[in-house]
Amino acid sequence: MSPFTPHRSGNVLRDRARPATDAELAEIPWMQRLTDVERERALAALVVGEAEAGDCICRFGRPVTYWFGLLDGLLKMSNDDSQGPVVTFTGVAPGGWFGEGTVLKHEQYRYNILALRKSRVAGLPVETFDWLLDHSIGFNRFVMHQLNERLGQFIAAREIDRLGSPDLRVARNLAALFHPLLSPNVAGILRITQQELAYLVGLSRQRTNEALTTLAAKGWIRVEYGGLRVLDLAALRSGVLEDG
């Protein structure tokens, strides 16, 4: 079995849950927007679990239980178990919280969230998410901004699917992983291997490597040991290559 084929589902927080450490709480951006009372309520419910490569954090068709956030590692959002063609919607980088639309509607997941490597995942139960929406202005604003940015991200993802240039596909996908609101803890460097990026983009590792070489030559990124550093995020988002 491929290490990136879902083999465990939905048990990361149920079976391996623990309270968040102070260091982990400092990595959760919406915590800073809560009052003392709201923060106490969130802390009592928030849990953290360790996901192994191949663990399915959310599975298509399962009822929603948590609002999830990635503290460390790398996740992939895709529709592998749906009836349509397989599509990778986006990657999730450290600091990213996801699935708020599903939580708001209390519906079943319409996608899989798969761990591409060992990852630390935080979860806020649906009941606590709902309570914060009812009581916290700061939390509401964070979720509203998340939804707005997520809409833009998925519109961009549809455009990426129509791009004929593999180099631009890699560029646009990298830009999504460096989104300052949706991936606030990435900063200037993302710890990712070429194989992991290839899984996210839907290209071979060799073709992904060629694209990275092209983007580096343009001065948009720099390939470093164990990761990538963005030098020109605006160019990754909307730049044009000669062959693009």
- Interval 9-66: pLDDT, tens: 545 666 678 999 999 999 999 999 999 999 999 999 999 999 999 999 999 899 999 9
| Residue 210 to residue 187: CA distance in whole angstroms | 24
Chain centre to alpha carbon of residue 138: 22
Q: What is the pTM of this model?
A: 0.83
pLDDT band with cut points at 50, 70 and 90 for residue 204: very high
- Asked whether the beta carbons of 32 and 184 are under 8 A apart, the reply is no
Count CB neighbours of 198 within 10 A.
18
Q: Are 66 and 17 in contact (CB under 8 A)?
A: no
Structure-block tokens of residue 135: 């009581």
More confident: 242 or 208: 208
Decide if 99 contacts 68 (C-beta within 8 A): yes
Lowest-confidence pick of 27-36, 63-72, 102-111, 150-159: 150-159
